[in-house]
A and B are shown apart, each in its own frame.
Chain A
């Protein structure tokens, strides 16, 4: 029996290792290629270890036409998305965490449900509407579309952050002379700050990595992923690797920072 249990454990670990490798190996090669000389990118067979570290490939990518402006636009779009999503999502998350109101569970489900709506399908009518409003091919249009994508996460993550902060702290502040608003400002927000920062970074990354909506809603003023996608087929290999790394790196860093909030998401809200 114990032998079987041990075998089972080994099996689980093996599966986990395989899955991890499946994700990590491409990341490793992309990173390796992005920081190699352009020549070695074309080499075959590939070196498995970093033998000729160089910023050559990266600088080639950054000096390619349209990359720097699209990079700037990506940053602006991501920041706009962040401000709008957290501006709306934080109060909603607070309400979900603190008050039990009629339809709270339905609301929570429907928040997740919006993610079932494919952005590809959403983008076409959005493009038409944006043309009418005159915000097509602008950072605002893309930011609005990205907000639609990021808002559910903003609501759920902030709600888990607030649910993790004892209501009694807020009540204690209120008995000591605070209104609800000042109790939130003086006690709850300072304590929620790390979690809200994590939510902010997460929202930033959702926007940073989003390519479909950005590609459909913009023509001349593309964000970085849209720009990379648009010129991908006509680009040399080093450009692809460097671009890939540029899109990948922020997400990796963020996942490492906020994973504890993501794991807590459901467990804590249900409390």
Chain B
């Protein structure tokens, strides 16, 4: 197991920086997820670590060694590919044994390690079969077993679950997480699926346009997104972005949303007199049936019952918000409700520079829609 460090890593494709000056450290035994929309450079970054792409700038360090110019075979890494890349002309046993044979291990060691890896992935019964005789999920297991068998320092996974169907993905996600926790393997895992990232990673590195935007624990990324992109990309529904005037009222900072006034935390005092963007998660908003102090009036647009909760789309002044309401609450469309927004759950996004900010909000939301539908397509075509 080893520690991994990217120092100012840049990878150009033509004039485009697919990976742009990335700094990232992964501790020994840590599980870090690279998360971002298609084309954000996450897979390219992983391939730079694997040695499958030459970096155009910066340094890649694995286990304290400079690996920048090492070929893949000398980096002591193992990789699971999106397409599994199981060798079709070899039996499962030989697939799993491949890396060990290349390391010139003895026959006894190879047999032992293949059987132990096969046991971990529950493929003992298929060792004599050819990959063509296996289902997609079983091939996926072979690919993981093959990567684990070499006991590499770092395990790289490139969207390993994206070609599985939804139910199998859910199952494999939990199994893989438990397995990697047990092994304590340093793992770098690429995905565009935010649920996968949130549920599996010790830390998530959110990427966009070749850059790492935020590296944090899943909870921190969810609760305190670094910017509107992260807030909009992570979470279903995406974070609500609301324009508000910050003012001081009775010696306390407040946000004015149309006629309503919402109390803010003390650290908002510095922004008094400005227009700001507030980020609020749908589940951080409570729905009240009657007007009250500090409540924001809103009109119901749509009610979507989702079983565990009802997702309301509401209009509050110029803002459209998504609100998670109790599953027994069915306000009629066009009816009036009141929203309670807890001050400690409000996330400051950016100070408003002018009228452009609202458009920027819309842009972020639009691009998120595009990302989601793209991710959906990828999942279904896979």
Contacts and interface: CB of A to CB of B under 8 A. Distances in A.
B150 interface: yes
A174 B72 contact: yes
B79 A175 contact: yes
A169 interface: yes
A172 B79 contact: yes
Contacts of A178: 73, 102
Given A171-B52, A172-B79, A177 B85 contact: no
Interface string B36-67: 00000000000000111000000000000000
B50 A177 contact: no
Interface in B125-166: 146, 150, 156
B77 interface: yes
A39 interface: no
B102 A177 contact: yes
Interface string B154-189: 001000000000000000000000000000000000
B89 A191 contact: yes
Contacts of B99: 176-177
A68 B132 CA distance: 46
Given A175-B77, A176-B146, A179-B71, A191 B88 contact: yes
A136 B123 CA distance: 63
Contacts of B81: 168, 171-172
B78 interface: yes
A166 interface: yes
B85 A171 contact: yes
Contacts, number: 59
B348 interface: no
Contacts of A177: 73, 98-99, 102-103, 150
B361 interface: no
Contact of B73 (A169, A175, A190, A191): A175
Contacts of A166: 83, 85
B52 A169 contact: no
A187 interface: yes
A75 to B, nearest CB: 31
A173 interface: yes
A172 B131 CA distance: 15
B306 to A, nearest CB: 38
Interface in A141-199: 166, 168-169, 171-179, 182, 187, 190-191
Nearest to A177: B102
A190 B103 contact: no
- Which interface class (under 10, 10 to 19, 20 to 34, 35 or more) fits A? 10 to 19
Nearest to B79: A175
A172 B52 CA distance: 10
Interface string A219-249: 0000000000000000000000000000000
Contacts of A174: 51-52, 71-73
Contacts of B98: 173, 176-177
A179 B75 CA distance: 12
A171 B50 CA distance: 9
Contacts of B51: 174-175
B194 to A, nearest CB: 25
A191 B86 CA distance: 12
Best-buried of A168, A175, A182 by chain B (most CB within 10 Å): A175
B52 A176 contact: no
Nearest to A191: B89
Contact of A172 (B71, B85, B89, B103): B85
Nearest to A187: B87
A169 B102 contact: no
A236 to B, nearest CB: 52
Contacts of B87: 169, 172-173, 187
B179 to A, nearest CB: 19
A172 B72 CA distance: 10
B103 A168 contact: no
Interface string B89-123: 10000000011001100000000000000000000
B233 to A, nearest CB: 27
A191 B85 CA distance: 13
A173 B98 CA distance: 8
Nearest to A182: B102
B73 A168 contact: no
Contacts of B102: 176-178, 182
Contacts of A173: 87, 98
A176 B146 CA distance: 9
A190 B83 contact: no
B89 A176 contact: no
Q: Count chain A CB atoms within 10 A of each CB in B78, B87, B103 and give the residue with the most.
A: B87
Contacts of B79: 171-172, 175
A176 B71 contact: no
Given A171-B85, A174-B73, 19 more contacts: A166-B83, A168-B81, A168-B83, A168-B85, A169-B85, A172-B81, A172-B85, A172-B87, A174-B52, A175-B77, A176-B73, A176-B99, A177-B73, A177-B98, A178-B73, A178-B102, A179-B71, A187-B87, A190-B89
Interface of B: 50-52, 71-73, 77-79, 81-83, 85, 87-89, 98-99, 102-103, 146, 150, 156
Interface of A: 166, 168-169, 171-179, 182, 187, 190-191
15 contacts: A171-B50, A171-B52, A171-B81, A173-B98, A174-B71, A175-B73, A175-B78, A175-B79, A175-B156, A176-B78, A177-B73, A177-B99, A182-B102, A187-B87, A187-B89
